[in-house]
Amino acid sequence: MQYLSHSRRIARALKPLALVETDVRFVSNAPSHVVHRSLSHSVFPGKMDTCNQLYAQSPMTGLMMLRANFSSEAKHVENPTEAVKELHSKILDSVNVKRSMPPNAWLWSLIDNCRNEDDISFLFDVLQNLRRFRLSNLRIHDNFNCNLCQQVAKTCVRVGAINHGKRALWKHNVHGLTPSVASAHHLLSYALKHKDAKLMDEVMKLLKMNNLPLQPGTADLVFRICHDTDNWDLLVKYSKKFCKAGVKLRKTTFDVWMEFAAKRGDTESLWNVDKLRSETYTQHTLSGAFSCAKGFLLEHKPEEAAAVIQIICQAYPDEKKSALEAEFKKLVNEWSVDIIKHQNEQDKKDVAASLKSDIPAMVNALVNSGLRVRVDLNELNKNEALLS
């Protein structure tokens, strides 16, 4: 008897909630008995007491309060654009009230209309709600397709929401995103544009933590970032990782690597990289050939430097001769400055004197071989780095 009496009291206590049982799905995908239990034993007792009072006054008012309490991604968003705000509302209304999957066009439109980080917060809130709906109502356990996930990462980069973009690389996430190297490349491209080696390092760690394979395009971006931020040690670190992983480096990646070594005056590293390159590619690129020529100049071998350039010049068609002139100009005006910059104080004068004699000797050797070389050696004598 005591047991039956206790059961009746519980039934009377739960009876008012039965009036809004169908609407509670607006807030959660959990079965009704789970929702009732969460109302009775909430970790936010003060807030839930207020909600229970509002239920007695107006079911819809109570539902709105519950929605405010349990919204995850968008509750702190203040300045979304109107288009994103409207689409966010329509999509949530579809999955949480109408219990139907919204048209794909709405989600793609939301992505296209994102203009700031608050918009991205709304986007991630929508993704989380859609994933939950797909899982609980449609029994779809798979994540969203890779094309959508890459577009999300690209959009995060476009508006500068980099922290959100990094979340797209997590294998286990509540948004239904499938991490991919392609998504990581969007973040690495941002790091390259902004010369952000720290972001690059963070992205590479995320790739490792989430078991995403390194690819040739990844190496190309990483090496360029290291070059542009003048971080040789970081390039050495990641070159070992890529080689250990068996990644086939592109010609452009070797070009950046060799150019960086030549710019630093590190001939030992230059020849090691060139040897590694020769195992995959038989012929030098224009950039690679000039890097080797710079290495020979540093070793006081202007004739050998000329021979390397002569071989690549013969392979180049006439319509691309302008690229040769650009490389000669860079060698005289830029590389000589970089070399002096990376030398010890006691070695700078000797290196400068060597370059002032060896570069003209290389040019004369090219002219004597019958190659038409258009380079202004007077610029060499005007170079302040070589005169100091």
The answer to the question of residue 26 being in a domain is: yes
DSSP 3-state of 138 = coil
Residues in Cβ contact with 207 at an 8 Å cutoff, skipping those fewer than 6 apart: 169, 181, 184, 214, 218
CA distances from 112 to 80, 109, 233 (A): 14, 5, 39
The answer to whether 250 touches 325, Cβ cutoff 8 Å, is no
DSSP letter at 212? P
| pLDDT given at position 380 | 74
Question: Does residue 104 have a pLDDT over 80?
Answer: yes
Question: Does residue 49 have a pLDDT over 80?
Answer: no
Which of the four pLDDT bands, split at 50, 70 and 90, describes residue 146? Answer: confident
| pLDDT given at position 76 | 55
Q: What percent of the chain has pLDDT over 90?
A: 60
Angle at CA of residue 237, ends 233 and 243, nearest 5°: 135
Q: From 70, 86, 118, give the residue that closes a domain.
A: 70
| 324 or 14, higher pLDDT | 324
Instruction: Give the domain range for residue 64.
Output: 1-70
DSSP letter at 342? T
| Residue in the structure block whose two tokens are 């009377």 | 12
Instruction: Give Cα 181 to chain centroid, integer Å.
Output: 9
- Report, as an integer, the average pLDDT of 3-31: 39
This model's pTM is above 0.85: no
| pLDDT given at position 296 | 98
Q: How many whole angstroms separate alpha carbon 327 and alpha carbon 305?
A: 13
DSSP 3-state of 171 = coil
The answer to whether 162 touches 156, Cβ cutoff 8 Å, is yes
Residue 365 CB neighbours (<10 A): 19
The answer to the question of residue 302 being in a domain is: yes
| pLDDT given at position 279 | 96
- Report, as an integer, the average pLDDT of 180-208: 98
Q: How many whole angstroms separate alpha carbon 37 and alpha carbon 40?
A: 5
Q: From 35, 70, 105, give the residue that closes a domain.
A: 70
| pLDDT given at position 24 | 31
Question: Does residue 379 have a pLDDT over 80?
Answer: no
Which of 245, 238, 330, 244 has its CA nearest to residue 293? 330
Which of the four pLDDT bands, split at 50, 70 and 90, describes residue 90? Answer: very high
Which of the four pLDDT bands, split at 50, 70 and 90, describes residue 357? Answer: very high
The answer to the question of residue 326 being in a domain is: yes
- Report, as an integer, the average pLDDT of 133-153: 89
DSSP 3-state of 218 = helix
Q: From 70, 100, 119, give the residue that closes a domain.
A: 70
Question: Does residue 45 have a pLDDT over 80?
Answer: no
| pLDDT given at position 343 | 86
Write the pLDDT tens digit of every residue in 251-301.
999 999 999 999 999 999 999 999 999 999 999 999 999 999 999 999 999
Q: How many whole angstroms separate alpha carbon 125 and alpha carbon 79?
A: 15
Instruction: Give Cα 365 to chain centroid, integer Å.
Output: 46
The answer to the question of residue 362 being in a domain is: yes
DSSP letter at 103? P
The answer to the question of residue 255 being in a domain is: yes
3-state SS record for 31-58: CHHHHHHHHHCCCCHHHHHHHHHHHHHC
- Report, as an integer, the average pLDDT of 84-108: 95
The answer to the question of residue 206 being in a domain is: no
Domains identified in the chain, total number: 2
| 295 or 387, higher pLDDT | 295
| pLDDT given at position 72 | 47
Which of 316, 242, 249 has its CA nearest to residue 285? 316
What is the helix (H) or strand (E) element at residue 358, kind and residue range?
helix 345-368
The answer to the question of residue 161 being in a domain is: no
DSSP letter at 372? -
| pLDDT given at position 15 | 41
Question: Does residue 304 have a pLDDT over 80?
Answer: yes
The answer to the question of residue 240 being in a domain is: no
Q: How many whole angstroms separate alpha carbon 121 and alpha carbon 70?
A: 15
Query: Which amino acid does the sequence have at 173?
Result: N
